[in-house]
Structure 1
Amino acid sequence: MYAVVLLVCCSWLALLCPSVQAYENLALNKPAWQSGTYLSNTGAERAVDGRYTELWWYGGQCAWSVGGQTTAEWRVDLGGVKSIHHVLIQYMTGNNVWDENNGYTRSFLGFSVYISNTTNKEDGVLCFRDTSYTRATIPNPVNITCPYHGRYVIYYNNRTHPPYPEGYSDYAYTELCELEVYGCDVYTYGVDCIRCGNCSGGVQCNRVTGSCPKGCDAGIYGDKCDLECGNNTYGVECKELCGNCSNGEPCHHVDGTCPHGCDAGMYGDKCDKECGNNTYGMECKELCGNCSNGEPCHHVDGTCPNGCDAGMYGDKCDKGNVRIKFSFNMIR
């Protein structure tokens, strides 16, 4: 009965706030670094190994920097620029209850999270900085919304400008048992990380709706720029009309070219030009006949609209009158 109630509640809550379960943990088992390591089993990589059931320094599942330092920094390399949604931090607890009496709260206070495309946090953006938590109010784990693009997620804490608020530790530490970075590859949207369409200029689509802020690339249309031009159109906003492609085939949706050539009487990459220079037919290879007054023949079938020059006949004025002269020798 409890499971049924929980399922109903979770379904109801999903309507109020989007599920985060579909996002991928981009930090899992990725290269990590920290400014000094206290013990061999507390290296930076311990905070991205997916394990945090032992929340103390001796458990082999947490990253822990050296003591007595005024700054502490830890970072993970996501392997490329990613579209980040949120960061989850599980701080060390010593496997004790997390409350104001837990000693680890002192070193967690005042922490910051940066998103950067380089290993230097100053090159990136400040996603979060604690300026108000106390030992009684700081959450653990903490879930931080970070809607930015970046390759490196950097955890930072410092004790460089005393005096600090009551409850702060004297020195800075990492003490991270896990740091998870949830999001998608760039050019995706939604909690299911759906690929963006062909937004104009290759810009990132809206990370929630998938819409393109500056329209679509040539040959594409739709709010999400995920549909190819149809109805005999091509180009930017599908405003250009295709030419006369062979057998009525559609032209290329981007540049308007005809994949299998042109209908009779047409030429050019886009099959949008009528045969000229006294030619007609397929690939404009046929020569017009002798149309009246030197007029061009019809570009498709070669017929002459106003008849033929003197001495010629036929629909295409390509046949001449033949006169046979007979000579009679008088036989006497």
Structure 2
Amino acid sequence: MVQLFKNFKAMLLVSAVLLVLLIISACGGTNVQEQAGENKPANTQQTENNKAESAEASESATTKKVTDDLGREVEVPVDPQRIIAGEFASELLAVGLKPIGAGDNSFKIVYTLDQMEGVEPIGDPPNIEKILDLQPDLIVAPTVFFEIYPEQMEQMNKIAPVFYLSFEQDPIYGIFTKLASLVGKEQEADTWIKGYEEEANTARAQLKESLGEETVSIFRVEKGRLRIYLNRNFAGYMLHSGLQANAPETVKAEIEKNPFSSAIEISLEMLPEYAADHMLLIVRDEGDDKSAMEEIEQLELWRSLPAVKNKRVHKLETEKYYGSDITTIRETMKETLKMLTGGKIQ
């Protein structure tokens, strides 16, 4: 009996120990689960916080890094407020931005001159003191400035970030779109381009209907120099790319051979080779250039040209056709269309 009682006590002791172990194990499991449960939301919350902070930092960033046409990485303002436009004032105006300063050529564009009130000319070469006084936060300059004004450009780069644009690209789908992206005005540029393309497509169809396969070429006459404009910049882009006028085969060959050239110089004796059924002339109505044109008009070589015989020579106003900016391209395209169609297109 005593032995049985001892065995019973031993069994109770073992049971008690097992019960305690089970309780401890259950509590430990609960704590692990609770700890895991607590850690998971904490990690998720931290991730969400990091994302929010990253988004906030992105939204609050005041500068961005871009690459200009010289291959330079430049840190520029995301939202520039005081821009010196160099030769690109017309393009900035087209997207609703008015520069604080611009190069001298920007003040020769008749189509945007009324919008340039209050814009300071920075001179040519650029006047560093004036630029310093203007306190720009962004300077846009043609790559040619880097070549011909190296000292001034080095000084300007210390005043504000300088972004270089090359003229050796399409003025609308190259220069304009890059500039719009630089200043955060892509949507405004897209709207402008769509409007231009609608006008250009209509003008091309009207020109084709009026002229058929007749050819058109455009020349610049100066004292001692005769140039024919190709398909890059100046009025050549308007004629050959905007209106897509049919050019003489010799001109087409030059455009293909010199895709980045605005014009080529030819001798007077070569004029008949590049002459077209319709000839557009850019010549100043005064001074030596006017005298040079008057001398040419007295030559038999000139008088024998088909366009001269058929009275299809059109003299263009130098002031209007001087620029190669997008506004000049668009407006002179309309005027040239009227000229070539005899005013039939309104």
Which TM-score bucket, shorter chain as reference?
A: under 0.3
Greater relative contact order (CA < 8 Å, ≥ 6 in sequence)? 2
- State the TM-score, normalizing by the size of structure 2: 0.21
- State the TM-score, normalizing by the size of structure 1: 0.21
Greater Rg over alpha carbons, structure: 1
Q: 1 or 2, which has the higher strand percentage?
A: 1
